[in-house]
Structure 1
């Protein structure tokens, strides 16, 4: 089980692997806030051999799954660039130690932040993004500085296939190191607590995710 910890400017949920040589993992929430499900993802990473932390970007606000209107308000009120520069950096600083590599991953809202962190912060060795992309005004594919993996849904009406295609074209044009995967399901497919969950896609993306980290963090 994990625990709540203090970070510079806020708090986070931390799960330790119990390994002295564990790489670090910063996990970023969906638009629902620091739900139990995202805490469980942190614990999944700990069980897989990572010391993992989720910074609380909503400062204690957790939105019920049925209330998409409230989730939208909270997400729209978030300063993504500031959250990346301050709260995500604070989570990475919590994990930092000499010789340790740290990864960054995020879902939905957190997918946007996982790309922004790959652009704006120099503390991560690689980043994995689930069904969320920043606007061109927030950050461009050409500005990404580390290897990227992406997991996207063909049925997504928020992070649409057209957005993913444009993102992939930008990565390729800039000769970035990337892996992008598309799944025949809907936005949110990794979250077992919502109706869009797709077990097969979640399992396959997790397998690819761990292989990516094995390549870049260990």
Structure 2
């Protein structure tokens, strides 16, 4: 009996050691900004695996973005939630979020440089297969990953969740190498019907491989469980709201998309 219990304890000990590992990694962009990434991977998986960059909402690198990195690690990916604002800054105040976002977008090279610095950091991790890379983004982050695709960054695919669709530099024919999945809330008041139509026209003209999913009843921010609170906060938040069905549907779509592009 003692021998049996000892074997059980050994087995349980082995199981407890296999877990999602996380750590913060300081890095720097080409413009000299100090950035802090949040890296996650499953240590029960041996060897390199596909890598996925996570780009945060306009709130900054908060717990939600970090949670999504852990979720991806649980699916078997090497995941890095990158920092687009510097020093891991985040906020729940819309005015601060707007200021952070505007600073990151002050010129195209700032945003693209910070995205590239995060992608390079992910590629450097021993758990990452540098030949299999993708990026997902939320709200502001959705715009960031779509712009990376427009610029021809060598990614297998990008996924935008309730992301901004407008751009000052439309994709040119043949430029977009990444496959694109857009998960859009049908009730998103921050992205107009004209924005949607212009995006589809742009992608068609560029010859991009894309899929656009309109999620019924979903507003901007539909994937974030904190959206209801942030949208009705003491600071007078934007028109956003959580939608459980849209969250689950878009996440399932993303999983199928990643499996396809990495197969």
Common fold: TM-score over 0.5: yes
Count the aligned residue pairs.
216
- Counterpart-to-counterpart distance in 1, 2:258 and 2:176: 17
Alignment partner of 1:70 out of 96, 120, 126: 96
Give the deviation of 1:57 after TM superposition. Answer: 1.1
In 2, the alpha carbon distance for the partners of 1:200 and 1:171 equals: 27
Residue 112 of structure 1 is matched in structure 2 by 143
Q: 1:98 to 1:53 in 2, by over 3 A?
A: closer
The 10-residue stretch of structure 1 (150-159 or 166-175) with the greater mean CA deviation from structure 2: 166-175
Contact residue 165 and residue 191 of structure 2 kept, 8 A: no
2:58 to 3, 26, 31: 31
Is contact 1:126–1:147 with CA below 8 Å preserved after alignment?
yes
Does residue 43 (structure 1) correspond to residue 70 (structure 2)? The answer is yes
Conserved in 2, the CA contact under 8 Å of 1:25 and 1:51? yes
Secondary structure in 2 aligned to 1:132?
coil
Q: Secondary structure at the match of 2:95?
A: helix
1:188 maps onto 2:214 in alignment: no
**CA 1:160 to 1:88, structure 2 compared with 1: closer, same or farther past 3 Å?**
same
**Greater relative contact order: 1 or 2 (C-alpha under 8 angstroms, separation 6 or more)?**
1
User: How far 1:140 sits from its partner (Å)?
Assistant: 3.2
> How do 1:153-164 residues align onto structure 2 when only pairs under 5 Å count?
153-164=185-196
> Is 1:91 aligned to residue 128 of structure 2?
no
Report runs of 4+ in structure 1 exceeding 6 Å deviation: none
Gaps of 5+ in 1: none
CA offset digits 1:31-67 (Å, max 9, x no partner) = 0001101100111100011110011111132111xx2
Worse overlay, 105-114 or 11-20: 11-20
CA contact (8 A) 1:22 1:50 kept: yes
Q: Structure 1 residues 92, 121: CA separation in 2 closer, same or farther (over 3 Å shift)?
A: farther
Match of 2:28 in 1: 8
Offset at 1:110? 0.3
Q: CA deviation at 1:121?
A: 4.8
Distance 2:172 2:166 in 1: 10
Task: Compute the RMSD of aligned alpha carbons.
Answer: 1.9
Change over 3 Å in CA distance of 1:123–1:8 after alignment to 2: farther
Q: Structure 2 length normalisation: TM-score?
A: 0.76
CA contact (8 A) 1:84 1:116 kept: no
Larger Rg: 2
Displacement of 1:83 after TM fit?
Answer: 4.0
Deviation of 1:170 (Å): 2.1
- For normalisation by structure 1, the TM-score amounts to 0.90
Q: 1:130 to 1:189 in 2, by over 3 A?
A: same
